[in-house]
Amino acid sequence: MRRRKRRTLPRGWRMVQSRHSGTSGGFIGDPRWFPMDLDKQTGAIRFADIGPERPTGRDFLDIISGERIVPEKTLPAAQAREIVRDNPEPPRINFIWHTSYCCSTAIAAAIDVPGRNLSLLEPAILVSVAGARREADRQRRGDISWLSDVAFRLLDRPDLDGGVVTVKPAPASNYLIADAAAKTKGKMLFLYCDCRSFLTAAMRYGENRRRIVRYLFNILYRDEKAATRWTPESVAELTDLEIAGLTWQLLIARFDASLKLHGDRAASLDCDAFLESPREVLARVWDFLELPGRVEESALYRDGEFLSRHSKYAGRSFAREERLAGGKDLSPELADEIDKTVQAVLAQFPQGPGTLPLPHALATKAQAR
């Protein structure tokens, strides 16, 4: 009796594009056609025509959100795989994995220099690829790590020969850390904030911020082997603050394990160290990522107002001193609850409060809060 061949594609995905679509995939080599997202139902990668100009993080956000309408094309991921696999050399991509609320957007922007490094901010395609990988692994459908390889190769589009691409994936993409280590040859920076800073940020800016943190927790806790102990009822009983604390714990635990596993390719950075000495620490980040050119080409050196503007929200200011103050403006009741949650979270680590700084630190903060 013949054994049924195990599927290498998730159910419903096509191997090739419909012959009536008029799309052959030849456009993949054109840098203006950028991979935006993956349809997890059909396995089609959506490409957008971003135009001849150098893309910015804002361009991708506007296209994904629908605020900017541009021509689009789709191509089955399996067909894209056949096109990009001709080059056996792994792509040279750097990664900035992060916890959120840790100046990741500011650091990515600071190293974004035309002709030197192109910073890609939280590509939606990596969130979708991570989701597909999670689902395939949980349901034991077979290894589809080739999908990560395709996405990485499609994102490897430096400005010029000799230039570099650095990707800052969204935290929901952290499932791809092992794939990035196996299928690329760049460096990986693990950027984080401490637990108190994470909880303080999570409790600000209203319900939407708390909803985002809960969404992230619902993704991350299912990645763990102990996920079965979390029933929907037990999760529903957790407060927003407890959810935030557990989310930070899951992020830091994965970072700690990854740093110990990947040696010289990986380094960690507490964002407070960057805020205390921005230029000195950025120079270390630049050297670690082996970026071409000189760090003095960064906007952090050329623009005296760089760190005074909020990196995410146009028109809003940013005060390093307030950020480093650690939420001193919180109500006494909330500050006390945050302190208790921090102690409970750190107690879950074998090292306790000594969990931070994480291994292979590029710099450590001087202030103890």
DSSP state string for 63-117: HHHTSS---EEEEEHHHHHHHHTT--SPP-EEEEEE-SSSSHHHHHHHT-BTTTE
How confident is the prediction for the chain on average, in pLDDT? 87
Q: CB–CB of 110/181 below 8 Å?
A: no
Query: 52 pLDDT exceeds 90?
Result: no
Q: Specify the pLDDT at position 68.
A: 84
- 320 backbone dihedrals φ, ψ, rounded to 5°: -60, -40
Look at the chain and report how many structural domains it folds into: 2
User: Is 125 a domain residue?
Assistant: yes
What is the pLDDT confidence band of residue 48, given thresholds at 50, 70 and 90? very high
* 270 shares its domain with 167: yes
Question: How many alpha carbons lie under 13 Å from residue 260 in its C-beta half-sphere?
Answer: 7
Q: CB–CB of 16/79 below 8 Å?
A: yes
- At 42, is the secondary structure helix, strand, or coil? coil
Domain span including residue 41: 24-86
* 236 shares its domain with 289: yes
The pLDDT tens digits for 299-343 are 999 988 888 776 666 656 565 666 666 667 788 999 999 999 999
Closest residue by Cα to residue 305 from 168, 58, 110: 110
Query: 106 pLDDT exceeds 90?
Result: yes
Question: How many alpha carbons lie under 13 Å from residue 294 in its C-beta half-sphere?
Answer: 4
Domain boundary among 44, 66, 86: 86
Q: What is the DSSP string of 87-100?
A: --SPP-EEEEEE-S
CATH of the domain at 346: 3.40.50.300
Mean pLDDT of 197-206: 89
User: Is 245 a domain residue?
Assistant: yes
User: Is 231 a domain residue?
Assistant: yes
Query: 133 pLDDT exceeds 90?
Result: yes
Q: CB–CB of 102/192 below 8 Å?
A: yes
Considering Cα of 143, then 265, then 353, then 339, what sign does the dihedral take?
negative
* 53 shares its domain with 199: no
* 59 shares its domain with 152: no
Which of 59-63, 183-187, 221-225 reaches the highest mean pLDDT?
A: 183-187
State the amino acid at position 197 in one-letter form.
S
What is the pLDDT confidence band of residue 20, given thresholds at 50, 70 and 90? very low
Can you give the pTM of this predicted structure?
0.91
User: Is 19 a domain residue?
Assistant: no
Between 23 and 337, whose confidence is greater? Answer: 337
Q: Specify the pLDDT at position 271.
A: 95
* 64 shares its domain with 139: no
User: Is 211 a domain residue?
Assistant: yes
* 210 shares its domain with 105: yes
Mean pLDDT of 351-368: 87
Share of the chain above pLDDT 70, in %: 87
Query: 195 pLDDT exceeds 90?
Result: yes
Q: Specify the pLDDT at position 293.
A: 96
Domain boundary among 66, 86, 106: 86
* 38 shares its domain with 107: no
* 56 shares its domain with 122: no
The rounded Cα 83 to chain-centroid distance in angstroms is 26
Between 322 and 142, whose confidence is greater? Answer: 142
CA distances from 49 to 35, 121, 159 (A): 9, 17, 16
* 53 shares its domain with 138: no
User: Is 31 a domain residue?
Assistant: yes
Q: Specify the pLDDT at position 318.
A: 62
User: Is 305 a domain residue?
Assistant: no
* 291 shares its domain with 338: yes
* 113 shares its domain with 61: no
User: Is 237 a domain residue?
Assistant: yes
What is the pLDDT confidence band of residue 12, given thresholds at 50, 70 and 90? low
* 75 shares its domain with 92: no
